[in-house]
Amino acid sequence: MIAILGAMQEEIEPILKSVKEYKEIEYAKNKFYLANYASNELVIAYSKIGKVNAAITATVMIEKFNASRLLFTGVAGALSHGLKIGDLMFATSLLQHDLDITAFGHPHGYVPGIEIFTKTDSDLNDIAKQTAEQKGLILKSGIIATGDIFVCEASKKEWIKDTFKADVVEMEGASVAQVCSQLGVPFFVLRAISDEAGGGAEFDFDEFLASSAKVSADFVLSMVEKL
Ligand code: OS5
């Protein structure tokens, strides 16, 4: 079983359209869609926004629906200059930018017993690179910073970028990464840029959510053809 997870309905809508037929199951106040695509069984869901919601849904996909690999699809705010609206980037590693026990002398993003950065699966990342090459698409890779904040302010954006050398910011990836890593499930996190996380980001986000979500969702489905 392969899990495809997004945070918002808009982020999985293009997947549901492409698979055409699916069965809907409700569990833990979430809807899970079971489908077949390219000889693979899929469980597809959107978690709702934020780290806790995403962690719950990822856990259910693994523990209840027996997902053995998880692909996250969605949009994100760009931190790096090189990333523009519609660009695709997969995570090489992810961290939580809002984890702060610096009062005890620890670095930002660190809690005892857990590394700051969670690394993604190199086999899935290689499949993504092959997919991009075959489709003639530009696919970047980099560090994703996750936190329960929609970043739309230059000073916050610069702080996250400088503190963690992060390339994009979003609100779910690192929590999903931690769930998958602790449960031993290989995972992949893909994001298409919807905004630049500075002043007025909410307007770009509204304008580009659907188109960027589709760029990411279509790419993830192409990867499923290779799994
Ligand atoms: O899932 C959240 C994180 N996503 C990635 C992202 C991001 N994260 C942080 N900073 C940025 N600059 C980012 N850019 C992209 C996107 C998403 C952001 S939160 C969006 C909230 C949108 C919304 N809120 N209410 N509605 C839409 C309408 C509504 C009302 C009731 C029920 C359903 C929808």
Q: Which atom of ligand 1 is nearest to the CA of 197?
A: 12
Choose the catalytic residue: 87, 170, 195, 204: 195
Of the candidates 14, 21, 16, 42, the one whose C-alpha atom is nearest the C-alpha of residue 227 is: 42
Is 158 an annotated catalytic residue?
no
Is the pLDDT score of 93 beyond 90? yes
Whether the CB of 153 sits within 6 Å of ligand 1:
no
Strands 69-78 and 168-170: antiparallel
Q: Which atom of ligand 1 is nearest to the CA of 8?
A: 1
| Residues 6 or more apart whose Cβ sits within 8 Å of residue 76 | 89, 144, 168, 169, 170, 191, 192, 193, 194
CA of 130 to the centre of ligand 1 (A): 30
Mean pLDDT of the chain: 98
At 129 the three-state DSSP class reads helix
Is 133 an annotated catalytic residue?
no
Q: Which two tokens stand for residue 99?
A: 């984890």
Task: Report pLDDT for 82.
Answer: 93
At 193 the three-state DSSP class reads strand
Q: Label residue 149 by pLDDT band (50, 70, 90).
A: very high
Q: How far apart are CA 129 and CA 60, in angstroms?
A: 28
Is the pLDDT score of 105 beyond 90? yes
Whether the CB of 150 sits within 6 Å of ligand 1:
yes
Task: Report pLDDT for 20.
Answer: 87
Q: What is the CATH number of the domain that holds 103?
A: 3.40.50.1580
The fraction of the chain above a pLDDT of 70, given in percent, is: 100
Is the pLDDT score of 74 beyond 90? yes
Paired residues of 69 in beta bridges: 2
pLDDT (tens digit per residue) in 128-143: 999 999 999 999 999 9
CA of 102 to the centre of ligand 1 (A): 28
pLDDT (tens digit per residue) in 165-214: 999 999 999 999 999 999 999 999 999 999 999 999 999 999 999 999 99
Choose the catalytic residue: 10, 11, 170, 204: 11
Whether the CB of 75 sits within 6 Å of ligand 1:
yes
CA of 133 to the centre of ligand 1 (A): 31
Whether the CB of 93 sits within 6 Å of ligand 1:
no
Domain span including residue 23: 2-224
At residue 214, what is the residue type? K
- Residue located nearest, by CA, to atom 1 of ligand 1: 49
Domains held by the chain: number: 1
- 44 close to 37: Cβ distance less than 8 angstroms: no
